[in-house]
């Protein structure tokens, strides 16, 4: 991200993808959320976001509808197109809904290195699968386990099986290669999403993304974490080592792992 003005604090991290505050601290989640939701970057302006509730002590409060707000279009020169801004707002709504649906507190941590974080769920009870390192059976073994096993000590969970992480990776590789192999069958569905860009700009964006990623792409040999991050919505782990991959375009691929 390039600096938006020439103030000296931008020189603190000139090569960093994330801008810094005047004290050279990287932007936190709260600041990023404010920036991503700010309509002023599109050239518009929403007036009366706050109002003075008491003119004697000059107390300013957030406007929750008490005072009429005014949306001014084309108030100034934009730095981002409205279509991109609308896509971002839909993605924020999708992630918020995802958290609420599954009772999660975050959308995952260290997702660049762990792209399946908060995306793997039990196909038997619907609970989140957690990444665990087992050390009792010799060399450290990383597995994904249904978190219902940890709700209460001594109380068994749903009984769904553990999933070794290499099998999860192999499952995604197989699912992605299935999409590449059957791309011509999925393409009409993606093109239809592009036609409905105004009604659902986020799905249209994801469809274009999938079209670009799969165009003349060679089969995936090993897990590509970036592709997982930008295409996968969730994975359901069913008994019998059946994995159900749900992609952000609405595409679903089922993979049966070897016993």
Residue 32 pLDDT more than 60? yes
Share of the chain above pLDDT 70, in %: 86
d(CA 250, CA 247): 6
pLDDT, position 160? 92
Q: DSSP alpha helices (H): ranges in 107-245? A: 165-181, 183-195, 201-214, 225-231
Residue 53 has pLDDT above 90, yes or no: no
Cβ of 52: how many Cβ atoms within 10 Å? 12
CA atoms of 99 and 81, how far apart (whole Å): 28
90-141 pLDDT per residue, tens: 998 999 999 999 888 887 777 778 899 999 999 999 999 999 988 876 678 8
**Top mean-pLDDT range of 29-43, 84-98, 144-158:** 84-98
Predicted TM-score of the model (pTM): 0.79
Backbone angles phi, psi at 59, to 5 degrees: -80, 125
Higher pLDDT residue, 59 or 24? 59
Q: How far is CA 115 from CA 59, 72, 102, in A?
A: 45, 40, 17
Q: In this predicted model, what pLDDT tens digit does every residue of 229-245 receive, in sequence order? A: 999 999 999 999 999 99
Alpha carbon distance 215, 46 (integer Å) = 41
What whole-number distance in Å separates Cα of residue 207 and Cα of residue 187? 9
């Amino acid at each position: 991200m390039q600096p938006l003005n020439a103030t000296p604090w931008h020189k603190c991290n000139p090569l960093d993808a994330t801008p810094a505050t005047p004290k050279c601290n990287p932007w936190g989640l709260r600041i990023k959320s404010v920036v991503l939701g700010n309509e002023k970057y599109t050239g518009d302006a929403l007036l009366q976001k706050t109002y003075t509730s008491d003119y004697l002590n000059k107390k300013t409060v957030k406007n929750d509808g008490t005072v009429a707000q005014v949306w001014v279009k084309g108030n100034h020169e934009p730095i981002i197109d409205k279509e991109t801004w609308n896509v971002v707002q839909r993605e924020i709504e999708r992630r918020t809904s995802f958290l609420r649906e599954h009772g999660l507190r975050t959308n995952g941590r260290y997702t660049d290195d762990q792209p399946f974080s908060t995306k793997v769920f039990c196909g038997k009870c619907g609970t989140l699968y957690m990444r665990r390192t087992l050390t009792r059976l010799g060399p450290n073994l990383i597995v994904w386990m249904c978190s219902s096993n940890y709700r209460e000590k001594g109380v068994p969970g749903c009984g769904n099986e553990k999933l070794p992480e290499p099998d999860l990776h192999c499952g995604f590789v197989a699912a992605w290669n299935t999409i590449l192999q059957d791309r011509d069958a999925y393409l009409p569905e993606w093109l239809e999403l592009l036609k409905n860009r105004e009604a659902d700009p986020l799905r249209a964006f994801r469809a274009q993304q999938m079209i670009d990623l799969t165009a003349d792409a060679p089969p995936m040999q090993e897990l590509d974490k970036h592709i997982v991050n930008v295409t996968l919505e969730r994975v359901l782990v069913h008994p019998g080592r059946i994995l159900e991959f749900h992609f952000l375009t609405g595409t679903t691929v089922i993979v049966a792992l070897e016993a």
